[in-house]
Amino acid sequence: MTLSSTLSVPSASAIPRHLAIIMDGNGRWATRSFLPRTAGHARGLQAVKRVVEACGQHGVEYLTLFAFSSENWRRPQEEVSLLMRLFVQTLEREIDKLSERGVRLRVIGDLDAFEPRLQDLILQAQERTAQNTTLHLTIAANYGGRWDILQATQHMLKAQPQLAAHPEKINEQSLAPYLSMAFAPEPDLFIRTGGEQRISNFLIWQLAYTELYFTDRYWPDINAQHLQEAFDWYATRERRFGRTSAQLSQP
């Protein structure tokens, strides 16, 4: 388990080790193109492929994509159903290609809400790629940051019931192993497309010291050059983690 950035200073480089993305703007892209919103989600899958490939070329180790939030169930039923079908189709069509490229796939979130077929496909895909190490691709589906903290707390107390009687012994090290992203370092760079400037209940524990990059471009339009622009911006950031600029300039 990687230590929290509030407890230790992680290493920093010009290319983020862990990139997290909210893929926003699919529906608005479709509306702009006089297409149904569902067409935007289908087109957004092409952007996912481009970004996965570009991250592999840049040497990004961890890529986490927010595909479906716990709040997205509030959307029209037709749109939700289409998203579920796309999820199934993508797992069926792409998992062999991902495995050949050395990509390890994980899906985080409350998966009990999905139909059994989709749950089975997720399990099979995770098992199929479990030995891969080139790129750790995580899809957040029916995920929420507050849910993540709550479920981690519940699992921690089930595993260590004595902590309920001694809450003063609970600290970050106690909770961190039970978070959904315990296997990964905290994101170095967060990107949100579509023009909104908020994190929308995504990885709210893990984004404490992440650099936040927002772009007005809609997700289906994103390509390798746009990703490079975000990386160029990231390379200019001074990642102090509580220290001063003077301390960073010291040998």
Q: Which of 83, 92, 84 is nearest to 39 (CA)?
A: 83
CA atoms within 13 A on the CB side of 202: 27
Is residue 199 annotated as involved in ligand binding?
yes
Q: Which of 24, 142, 148, 188 is catalytic?
A: 24
Query: How far apart, in Å, are the Cα atoms of 37 and each of 25, 117, 120, 125, 219?
Result: 10, 25, 28, 28, 13
Is residue 101 annotated as involved in ligand binding?
no
Tell me if residue 72 is catalytic: yes
Q: Which of 72, 132, 201, 223 is catalytic?
A: 72
Is residue 174 annotated as involved in ligand binding?
no
CA distance 128 to 10: 31
Is residue 41 annotated as involved in ligand binding?
yes
Cβ contacts of residue 240 below 8 Å, gap of 6+?
247, 248
Is residue 59 annotated as involved in ligand binding?
no
Is residue 198 annotated as involved in ligand binding?
yes
Phi/psi of residue 65, nearest 5 degrees:
-115, 130
Is residue 73 annotated as involved in ligand binding?
yes
Is residue 13 annotated as involved in ligand binding?
no
Note whether 213 and 234 are within 8 A (CB): yes
Is residue 29 annotated as involved in ligand binding?
yes
Is residue 93 annotated as involved in ligand binding?
no
Tell me if residue 232 is catalytic: no
Cβ contacts of residue 156 below 8 Å, gap of 6+?
163, 170, 174, 175, 177, 178
Binding site for Mg(2+): residue ranges?
A: 24, 211
Binding site: residue ranges?
A: 24-29, 37, 41, 69-71, 73, 75, 192, 198-200, 211
Residues that are catalytic: 24, 72
Binding site for substrate: residue ranges?
A: 25-29, 37, 41, 69-71, 73, 75, 192, 198-200
